[in-house]
Amino acid sequence: MQIITTQKALQEQVEACKRLGKTIGLVPTMGALHEGHASLVRKSVEENRVTFVSVFVNPTQFNNKEDLLKYPRDINKDAELLASLNVDFLFAPATEEMYTDEELNTTFSFDFGGLDQVMEGKMRPGHFNGVVQIVSRLFTLVQPDRAYFGEKDYQQLAIIRRMVQVLDFNDIQIVGCPIVRESSGLALSSRNQRLSAEEKAIAVNISHILFESRQLTQSQSVAQVQSWVIEQVNRVQGLTVEYYEIVDQTTLMPVQDFSHAIGCITVYCGPVRLIDNIKY
């Protein structure tokens, strides 16, 4: 595996792959890699001749600067994992390699079509502007045939799909990959590294309650199930629901029934903000 730290070196490798007619897979990450990321990488390695993985903690998608500072980082451990998964290129740039000072201090403009007005977008203003900013830049640099994203960040995946249409990246296939969970049911997340053993034991209740809510869909309305989930999670000492929304899987707009619905939740476990979702 070759480690690249500059845009120039990245483009040189991409051009060499293109000249040889090799298909390219891209897995954009912010590092602190776990089995969820590994599942994306394995799929890319399986489906493409060459796989690029980016590790970049993107400052423009953090509306909370303290959260940015606390975000876990271990590039050596990440590189070791990626090498074991047969990744061809790791792109690990410094912030100044990706952004000018002006870009860092200016909100990236994008027409989300309303997808940024609900859930994560509502709670984290500017977050998805930063996501589109960095992913669109990576798409331009790497020119992948396929790009891989986890369904745990479901709203992000919906926004990436819109970005492909709006910014004319239609040659890139967006591959959504299922949530990977620990044996306990807890959705894998880089933020789990910030949980104490006690907090982790508490956090498993989030997924357990989501799974249980599926059994209510035959007898209760969307509003009733939504209220039930919020009430059950808040009953667990140490957990506080920020939001739980049951929305259409494509538009992310509220639904009246469960036929094409997904429930998306954000919960604070102590100081750590966790997200999860469940399809109905």
Residue numbers annotated as active site: 37
In whole angstroms, what is the distance from residue 243 CA to residue 241 CA?
5
Burial (CB count within 10 angstroms: exposed 0-12, middle 13-18, buried 19+), residue 273: middle
C-alpha dihedral, 133 to 70 to 158 to 14, nearest 10° = 50
Read off the amino acid at residue 211: F
Beta strands in the chain (DSSP E): 2-4, 24-29, 50-55, 89-91, 146-150, 173-177, 239-248, 261-269, 272-279
